[in-house]
Structure 1
């Protein structure tokens, strides 16, 4: 006999869904893939979830050793939620699922105003092959529309993180959301965007800008729904 909270099957996928299958759980993990977050940060990003359900989901994830509570070092010193080592193991499968979703056709039920470029960067930057990242140790800080996020490259990995870089970045750029999407999905060339002023380079060189977008747009799949925004 099983309860409503478990599939009751001796199957790795079923066991994974016992932990992750409740509504909103994947999206909480998605936010934490971008770095530690305060409860308020999660509540603001997922307003339809509501504080009570958010608390319940976080408790379940803590019990499953997917999420833990921590405190950021000074000067921040605030309580946050972050992924455990087991939680980090979800990075590749969840980002792969997100990339699969990039290719889905548009739906009238989806509000395009909810587009977040940090989540797109999280998805597309994850597939960069280690050979392209070999020997690179760089940080790119991007101000896109009203969003700010940074991309860290180190140890053959490229990861997108929320907010500004905690240290001085090697590259800092400013652009509109539409410009960013066209650069990522092939609607325009980096050199043209810099020359026209659509991309403003606050820190770094033109060479770094080209490398950053070459890495982040390292995909052969076309996503016209984003290019057309």
Structure 2
């Protein structure tokens, strides 16, 4: 139940009634990367207490943004995931992330909280053209200690935590700085591979082609968000 409201008959205000509480949008951010256990969410959201996290999850459940489910065997654990309504936040959330890329970094922000999967989620939002909806390609990234993947769904890339659920067309290994440089086009994939900052298994050309499609252009419009 929403406990605070702007009291305005405006869809932006009503959306903020639901998502504007501290931590709520970051919970959505984490679940855009895939279903998470309560502990996984608490560990990812440094600074949130268990009680506050429980309250925010309960509130998001009540407005049909988040639901609890149980993963199939052999995992068989309870997780939180986005509902269809929650998944519709992917486009706005990625757009917000891209909008914030060039904001100055407050000195209170811990640089150790930087994560490759979050860069990957923003990167997926830079897609410049719709691909064949029949393609189901996956691209797996090992960046430092992190593993995440980009996969095509209905012609659009989405980022998800963990290994790809299918055999990836290419697997990419790098440190965070090198991955970030490639993502921001400070370094081309070909040059990163030549310099030894990035290594690959599988189809190396697929990595080059990926970054021909994912191009960060400040102010460029996004593709129609995933429904």
TM (norm. structure 2) is 0.89
The residue matched to 1:201 in structure 2 has which SS? strand
Greater RCO structure (CA 8 Å; 6+ sep): 2
Q: Distance in 1 between matches of 2:114 and 2:129?
A: 28
Equivalent of residue 212 in structure 1, options 210, 213, 217: 210
Hey, what does 1:175 align to over in structure 2?
174
Task: Judge conservation of contact 1:125–1:215 (CA < 8 Å) in 2.
Answer: no
- Deviation readout 1:102-123 (Å, 9 max, x if unpaired): 1112221222111112111111
Q: Report the CA distance between 1:196 and its aligned residue.
A: 2.8
Aligned runs of 1:120-199 on 2, under 5 Å?
120-132=119-131, 136-199=135-198
Q: Report the CA distance between 1:152 and its aligned residue.
A: 0.6
**Structure 2 unpaired stretches of 5+:** 220-227
Residues 47, 148 of structure 1: CA spacing in aligned structure 2 closer, same or farther, 3 A cutoff?
same
Hey, what does 1:227 align to over in structure 2?
none
The residue matched to 1:169 in structure 2 has which SS? coil
Q: Distance in 2 between matches of 1:14 and 1:221?
A: 27
- Deviation readout 1:77-96 (Å, 9 max, x if unpaired): 21110000111111111111
Aligned Cα root-mean-square deviation (Å): 1.8
Hey, what does 2:13 align to over in structure 1?
14
Q: Distance in 2 between matches of 1:21 and 1:195?
A: 45
Q: Distance in 1 between matches of 2:3 and 2:73?
A: 43
Q: Distance in 1 between matches of 2:91 and 2:114?
A: 21
Q: Report the CA distance between 1:124 and its aligned residue.
A: 2.2
The residue matched to 1:214 in structure 2 has which SS? helix
- Deviation readout 1:59-82 (Å, 9 max, x if unpaired): 000000000001112222211100
- Deviation readout 1:28-68 (Å, 9 max, x if unpaired): 00000111111111011013111110000000000000000
Task: Name the one with the larger helix percent.
Answer: 1
Q: Distance in 2 between matches of 1:132 and 1:138?
A: 11
Q: Report the CA distance between 1:131 and its aligned residue.
A: 3.2
Hey, what does 2:218 align to over in structure 1?
221
- Deviation readout 1:169-218 (Å, 9 max, x if unpaired): 2211111111101111122221122123221113x1221121223333x1
TM (norm. structure 1) is 0.89
Following superposition, which runs of at least 4 residues in structure 1 exceed 6 angstroms of deviation?
none
**Structure 1 unpaired stretches of 5+:** 223-229
The residue matched to 1:102 in structure 2 has which SS? coil
